[in-house]
Every structure is written in C-alpha cells, then in structure tokens.
A and B are shown apart, each in its own frame.
Chain A
Amino acid sequence: MEKTRTAVDLAAAFEVSPNPYILLTPDLVIVGANQAYLDVTSSRRQDIVGQPLFQAFDSGDGQEAPENVRRVKASLEKARDTRQRDHLAMVRFSIARTGADGARTFEDRIWSATHTPILDDDGRVSFLLQHTTDVTDLNRGFIPDPSAPISALDAIVGGGLLRRAEVVQEDNLRLEHERNRLVEMFMQAPGFVTILSGPQHVFQMHNAAYQQLIGQRDVSGLPVREALPELAGQGYYEFLDDVFATGEPYEGQESLVQLQRRPGGPLEDVYVNFIYQPIRDEKGAVAGIFVQGHDVTENVLAAQRQKLMIDELNHRVKNTLATVQSIAIQTARSHADPATFAETFQSRLMALSHTHNLLTRSHWEGAELSAILAHETEAFGPTRISLNGPPVDLEPALALSLGMIFHELATNAAKYGALSTPEGRVLIDWALADQRAPKLTLTWREVGGPPVSTPSRKGFGSRLIERNIRHDLAGEIDLLYAADGLVAELTVPLERKYA
C-alpha cells in the first residue's frame, strides 16, 4: 500500500518536473516521457510511447543527423553497458516543429543530456532515464559561429564555457576510444594479464589467457587468497604483499606454480615467466598490481627432457668406455705380442659394436637371440653350426652381455675347440621355461673336434663368460670340458628387476 503510494507520488513528481525526462527500455524503446520533455521536443505522448527512440526522434534529414544520432545512442549504450551514469555535455539534435500551416520543419537545437541506468534488485539494467536540457539559446546567444576562436569575453560568459565543455567532451571521447583499444589489446593479449586491486589483491579484470591459466574459475571481485586458495604456501601471496608494501616490482623466471585447473581436479604443475608491477594512484601510493606473464611449461619440460636424455646418453657412453677400457686392459694382460693383442681386442670390440647395431635397428628396444648367435657364428658356414630354438627377444643389457659371451665361446671354439678342425660342429639349442618367471636355457655343445681337457688356468675369455652370466645376468653357467668337446649350459632369467 505504502509502496504503491510512493510509486504514484514519484510518477506524479516525474510528470510535473520542469526538467525534461524520458524513460527507455534497455533496447532504447520509449516507455514514457514527462510533460516538460513533450514540450521541449514538440511531441505528443501517444505518438512516441512504444516507439524506438531514434524512430521517434531521428534528428531530421540534415547532413549531421546520423552523427548526432550516433552520439546520443553511444552515450545511452555506454550507460546501459557500464551501468554507470553517462553525460553528454553538448550534442546537436534537430527537432521537428509543426508550423501553423501544418508543415513539418526541422529545427537545429543543442542539448545537454544525462543518461542514468535504473537497476533492478539483481543489478540488471531495467530502464534508462534520459534527462536533457535545451541549451541552444545559451550557446547561440554568445557564439554565433561555433567555429570562431574563443575570445576572452567568451571565456568569462557561458558560451565560452559551453564551448570548452564541448572541447573537453571531444577529448574524453578520443581518450575513451584509446582506452577501449587498450582494453581490447589487454583482453586479447597472448600472455596472461590481470589487475589486482588493493592490499588484498582483489581481481579487478583479467584476460582470456589468465582465465585459461587458472581454469575456468570466476575470480572477479575476489581477493587472491580466496580466489586461488591452492597458492597457499607457494610464496605468491607473499610476493604480492611485498610488491604492494614496497612498490618494487617482482619478476619470476620459469617459476613453478601448482594450480587447480579443473574443478575437483588435482594440482597441476605450471611453469611461468611473470612480472608483478605496482600500479600507483595519482598521489604515488601503490593502489594495485599489474600481473603479466607467459605459460612456459612446454619449454621447461622440453629442456628437462633434453637434460635427462643428455645425462642418460653421457652415462651410457661413459659406461661403455669403461667397458672397452676393461676389455683393453684385460686383453693386454693375456697378449704380450702387440699384433695378437690388436687382433683379439679388435674382434671383441667388433662383437660389442655389432650388438649395438642390432639394438639401434630396434631403437634400443631389444634384439633377437638367433640374430646375435648367427652373427657370431656365420663365419664358419651353416653346415657347421646348428641353431635350434624359439624366437627370443632380448632386452638391451642382456643382448649386449650374450653378444660378448657368444663371441668368446666362438673364438675359443675356433682356436682350441670344434671349429679348429674342418669336421667339428657346434650344436646350439635353447628353450624358454617357466612362464611366470621366464628363463632362457641354452646349450652350446661342440662335437667332432679335438679332445679337450679342463684348462690349467682360466683365460680372460672364460672369466668374462662366467662373471658376466653370474654377475650381470644373475644366471648360471656350467662349462663342461667333456672328452668329445666343450659343453656350456647356461640359464638366465629374462625378466630382471632392472632395465
């Protein structure tokens, strides 16, 4: 009841106000106008209510009409979109007058207008109120020619003031265009940008890249500790506090930040280059912080991967060099003659190198057992070597070890065993056993060669075989010097605990 009466009173006051008012919907359709408005625009209520504003008032057909309409429209839209009152200090707008003879003519008038958004309970714009004043006489009386320079007299009286108001307004318009362009650039910048306001670092505005950085969270108007709670303990709140307190900018390079980028998701590692730049007010005090930066996660991870690969490569190369060093020194100890040293050392090196070749072909995923055996024995021809067993894929370390072991066995056979005579043969049989913990069992049996006996002293070759099988491969080996030829029986696990 009370509310209704208040509304009625306000409506009555609006109607009788000497100030011209017109009420518009947010899409600029006329809802109502008071008598003063109808009077200054020489219009009738029934002709204009329900009409779009610029259909009811189109500023006539003069050359300036479209620009006049555009300026009034821009001011109304700005009031609507920013939800802030907007002033148009001076605007030309022609009004239709119907003469005594009934003919319509347009009269050029100058107006000063204020556009006020009227918000509903949810803060949305429900109406726009235009308050406009006809300032034509004030202006025209003192400045017959608007393009004439401002005289000292003009400066003292109203015309000059209005003229200057117009100049200021044009400046504001230009500045606003520039500001809009800057905001546009800011919003579309590829790097992330945000402006934090006050000592609590309240999110004032941020661009799309920043929104992406923090996941699609709504942080506008929130202090940073509330907006990004997962940053607690990561040092960033404190950097912001320091920048705000000291006014000194802070710069971070490849700085790790753990962010929740999906609702309920885990913290993700992101690396950023960024700067916190203090924003000062007109008195020079720090009012906020400008945050700008780039997500450099991809670059940082690529550099880490590269370092890992280089470290791993270095580790492998140095280990291989140590292996070769060992082969050289051990071979030298059993070969006093430089010529036989060179030959033996070289053939061991070539065996190692060949297994590397096989592994390189499979991108170091593994090598086939029969391929390694075939290479070490092919010099003796297929009739003297029998290879019999299923395909077995050997992982790299195992392939390298077995390559060296078969090389030693074959070299030994060629020097002292079955391959040292034209008739002798080597039968190599292998099988896989125990599927749960797969093992390779392999028998190297020499037949048809000279009689053999257990050597009185173990050479490097047989020590290498035994040590390698037991130590490196955690397997077992039996070297049996039977009267009709050497039999080597070896068992190695195929799935070892390490790569």
Chain B
Amino acid sequence: MTQPLTGRRVLIVEDESLVAMLLETILEDMGCTPVGPAANIDEGAAIVRDEADLDAALLDVNVAGRQVFPVAEALKARGVPFVFSTGYGEGGLPDEWRGNPTIQKPFTETAVRDALMKAMGVAQA
C-alpha cells in the first residue's frame, strides 16, 4: 500500500496524553512526523507561530476546557489544513467550522488518514 502522507509533519493538539499517544502511533504508521503534542491552546498557538514546517494539524475541539478555534484561525491564516477531532461529532461544531474535515472519537486509523488527505487535498491512493 502506498503512503501518500509520508514525510508530512502533522501538529497534534490534544489534552489527553493517551489519546495523543494513539494519534502519534497512527501518524507514525502512516509515515508522518508528529509535531507536539500540544496539551492546551497556548502551547498549540505557540507551535503554529514558531514551527516553520507544518503540513497539517489534528485539533481536539475541547482542549483543557477551552475551544481550539483560535489555533484553527491561526492555521487557516497560515494556509495549513487541519482536521478537528471531537467527541461531539460534526454537530458539535459552530456553523463557521462545519464542513471542515472532522473525526469523531474514538477513531480508526483509516478515519484519521482519510480526513487528513481530504483536508490536504491529497488524492486517495
């Protein structure tokens, strides 16, 4: 199986270390390089500001009691595509973010890969 995402650097914003570890494992299996993980909004925003090399991001919507949208705005401004991950499903997103690729917890490796490829505009292998 080809790995269309090989070498991509993907930021993880996720407050639960176990879930972050799972995402890292999934990303590594796909040949990606995980960046972070950021445990809160401030850390996430700092990485978006300082990290020159970002291809995509996986954003937990509810991070340590706050919503991740400031990080999403910063990524959008940089032109970095991202995928929301949430326990609420897409219905839990505010209107302005509906339609953005979203994965619902718990997630499969396939779901993560498909959402990332959709966000990045990478053709299915």
Q: Write the chain B residue with the least CB distance to A468.
A: B17
Interface segment, A316-324, A364-372, A418-426?
A: A316-324
Say how far B81's CB is from chain A's closest CB, in angstroms: 22
By the criterion CB–CB under 8 Å, are A319 and B87 in contact? yes
Summarize A's interface: helix, strand, loop or mixed.
Answer: helix
Count how many chain A residues have C-beta atoms less than 8 Å from C-beta atoms of the other chain.
29
A88 close to B (CB within 8 Å): no
Say how far A494's CB is from chain B's closest CB, in angstroms: 15
By the criterion CB–CB under 8 Å, are A498 and B106 in contact? no
Q: B125 — which chain A residues lie within 8 A by C-beta?
A: none
Q: A499 — which chain B residues lie within 8 A by C-beta?
A: 65
Summarize B's interface: helix, strand, loop or mixed.
Answer: mixed
Q: A496 — which chain B residues lie within 8 A by C-beta?
A: 64
Q: A480 — which chain B residues lie within 8 A by C-beta?
A: none
Q: B15 — which chain A residues lie within 8 A by C-beta?
A: 471-472, 498
Q: B79 — which chain A residues lie within 8 A by C-beta?
A: none
Q: B20 — which chain A residues lie within 8 A by C-beta?
A: 467, 471
Max chain A C-beta neighbours (<10 A), residue from B17, B65, B104: B17
A360 to B106, CA, bound (A): 23
A497 close to B (CB within 8 Å): yes
Max chain A C-beta neighbours (<10 A), residue from B37, B64, B87: B87
By the criterion CB–CB under 8 Å, are A327 and B65 in contact? no
Taking A314-B88, A326-B22 as contacts, is the C-beta distance between A467 and B17 under 8 angstroms?
yes
Q: B92 — which chain A residues lie within 8 A by C-beta?
A: 311, 315
Q: Write the chain A residue with the least CB distance to B91.
A: A311
Say how far B86's CB is from chain A's closest CB, in angstroms: 8
Say how far A493's CB is from chain B's closest CB, in angstroms: 13
B107 close to A (CB within 8 Å): yes
A187 close to B (CB within 8 Å): no
A330 close to B (CB within 8 Å): yes
By the criterion CB–CB under 8 Å, are B87 and A317 in contact? yes
Q: Write the chain A residue with the least CB distance to B65.
A: A498
By the criterion CB–CB under 8 Å, are B16 and A315 in contact? no
By the criterion CB–CB under 8 Å, are A471 and B22 in contact? no
Say how far A330's CB is from chain B's closest CB, in angstroms: 6
Taking A330-B22, A471-B39 as contacts, is the C-beta distance between A315 and B62 under 8 angstroms?
yes
Q: A217 — which chain B residues lie within 8 A by C-beta?
A: none
A464 close to B (CB within 8 Å): yes
Taking A464-B17, A467-B17, A471-B37 as contacts, is the C-beta distance between A316 and B22 under 8 angstroms?
no
A481 to B71, CA, bound (A): 39
Q: B40 — which chain A residues lie within 8 A by C-beta?
A: 497-498
Say how far B29's CB is from chain A's closest CB, in angstroms: 10
Q: Write the chain A residue with the least CB distance to B63.
A: A498
A470-499, CB < 8 A from B? 470-472, 474, 496-499
Taking A326-B22, A329-B22, A472-B15 as contacts, is the C-beta distance between A319 and B39 under 8 angstroms?
no
Say how far A226's CB is from chain B's closest CB, in angstroms: 37
A325 close to B (CB within 8 Å): yes
Q: B88 — which chain A residues lie within 8 A by C-beta?
A: 311, 314-315, 318
Taking A472-B16, A499-B65 as contacts, is the C-beta distance between A322 and B105 under 8 angstroms?
yes
Taking A317-B87, A474-B39 as contacts, is the C-beta distance between A322 and B16 under 8 angstroms?
yes
A453-475, CB < 8 A from B? 463-464, 467-468, 470-472, 474
By the criterion CB–CB under 8 Å, are B66 and A498 in contact? yes
By the criterion CB–CB under 8 Å, are B39 and A322 in contact? no
B46 close to A (CB within 8 Å): no
Taking A314-B87, A474-B39 as contacts, is the C-beta distance between A322 and B22 under 8 angstroms?
yes
Taking A322-B105, A472-B39, A497-B64 as contacts, is the C-beta distance between A315 and B17 under 8 angstroms?
no
B1-32, CB < 8 A from A? 15-22, 25
Identify A325's interface contact among B22, B64, B87, CB under 8 A. Answer: B22
Say how far A251's CB is from chain B's closest CB, in angstroms: 26
A27-86, CB < 8 A from B? none
Identify A321's interface contact among B17, B66, B105, CB under 8 A. Answer: B105
Say how far A349's CB is from chain B's closest CB, in angstroms: 12
A430 to B92, CA, bound (A): 41
A316 to B86, CA, bound (A): 10
What 9 A-B pairs are tightest by C-beta distance, nearest first?
A318-B87, A498-B65, A326-B22, A322-B105, A467-B17, A471-B17, A315-B87, A326-B18, A498-B64
Q: List 27 A-B contacts (CB under 8 A).
A: A314-B87, A314-B88, A315-B62, A315-B88, A316-B87, A318-B87, A318-B105, A319-B19, A319-B105, A321-B105, A322-B22, A322-B87, A323-B18, A326-B21, A326-B22, A329-B25, A330-B18, A330-B21, A464-B17, A464-B21, A468-B17, A468-B18, A470-B17, A471-B17, A496-B64, A497-B65, A499-B65
Known: A316-B87, A319-B19. 20 other contacts (CB 8 A): A311-B92, A314-B87, A315-B86, A315-B88, A315-B92, A318-B88, A318-B104, A318-B106, A319-B87, A319-B105, A322-B16, A323-B16, A324-B106, A464-B17, A467-B17, A470-B17, A471-B15, A474-B39, A497-B64, A498-B66
